[in-house]
Structure 1
């Protein structure tokens, strides 16, 4: 069987229609709204359901609200929460966390720890800037997460 190729007309051979079609696409995109944000200067506003860095909330006396019930560590699917409890020096609770660490490299930011907490002490914020140099810096400790409260107040998202 022989393949017959159609003979190209002059206008098809000089590619002017294809060139005009390409220029039309370029000009159309040139006048469209741009999507780029100048990142360090312009920060995007996270969506309402966005789950970013963890923070530990404080009670009205400035103490950590966590009662070391281990529910967040138990429900965490990636097992990134590590808690060590001790007897609380206050009379309104039995224990409090001496050590509370979250490995954010391992965390999948699912929000199950936030849902499981009966005291509403752990919360996922809208902070999305987590870049750092060492792996140890991604292990967030109790003091870091309590300090996120001040970071959250200072940064208006």
Structure 2
């Protein structure tokens, strides 16, 4: 014969306990998020939209190595590297990211691309509002991802700071744009304007405050 069950039969009191949570919340004020009228700050380490960072003088940190694209599990990143030249230098060293795209229709914001980046060129911001009306607008290009021009920066391309190499940049010894870099950008802008190139404007963004030199 099967042994009798030792589990007690549910009583009336057990059923009342089950409704205790329901009755307890009936008289509380409901908590409603007033988004998007009221936006709550995100956690400091929240993984949001990506950003391509610059060195303090304005040169780009991305070296076009494509490691972020290889690390992406969703195949959301596309990178094309190219060689720097003395006439057109966008980053320290030999290579830079000529094409950089992130498809936010695929991106799962996992952050693996950040861990793969050897130069800390790619980081993630707290921006989370990535919805849009078309699929094409959710494919961000390099121009959409580059960080803002801060005081002490001049827009690339321009040479590296005098007497430095790429290791000087990677070790943080370049503080901001030098006078020679500012003159180089201004001269190129003047040449473009004099040649009548379409859309040519003086590319001196951020150069007003760029009076420092290479830090020791």
Global fold match (TM > 0.5): yes
Where in structure 1 are there 5+ consecutive unaligned residues?
Answer: 1-17, 151-157
TM-score, scaled relative to structure 1:
0.72
What is the deviation of 1:28? 4.4
Residue 137 of structure 1: aligned partner: 137
What is the deviation of 1:74? 1.0
Where in structure 2 are there 5+ consecutive unaligned residues?
Answer: 1-15, 150-216
CA RMSD of aligned residues (A): 2.4
1:98 aligns to 2:98 (yes or no): yes
SS in 2 for 1:38: coil
What is the deviation of 1:86? 1.1
What is the deviation of 1:87? 0.9
Residue 124 of structure 2: aligned partner: 124
What is the deviation of 1:35? 2.4
What is the deviation of 1:97? 0.9
For 1:10-49, list aligned pairs within 5 A: 25=23, 28-32=25-29, 34-49=30-45
Shift in alpha-carbon separation, 1:29–1:63, aligned structure 2, 3 A: farther
SS in 2 for 1:101: strand
Residue 87 of structure 1: aligned partner: 83
For 1:66-81, list aligned pairs within 5 A: 66-81=62-77
Higher helix share: 1
Higher strand share: 1
Alpha-carbon distance in 2 for matches of 1:48, 1:110: 16
What is the deviation of 1:37? 1.9
Alpha-carbon distance in 2 for matches of 1:128, 1:44: 12
Alpha-carbon distance in 2 for matches of 1:30, 1:63: 59
Alpha-carbon distance in 1 for matches of 2:108, 2:77: 11
Kindly report structure 1 stretches of 4+ aligned residues shifted beyond 2 Å: 27-32, 89-92
TM-score, scaled relative to structure 2:
0.53
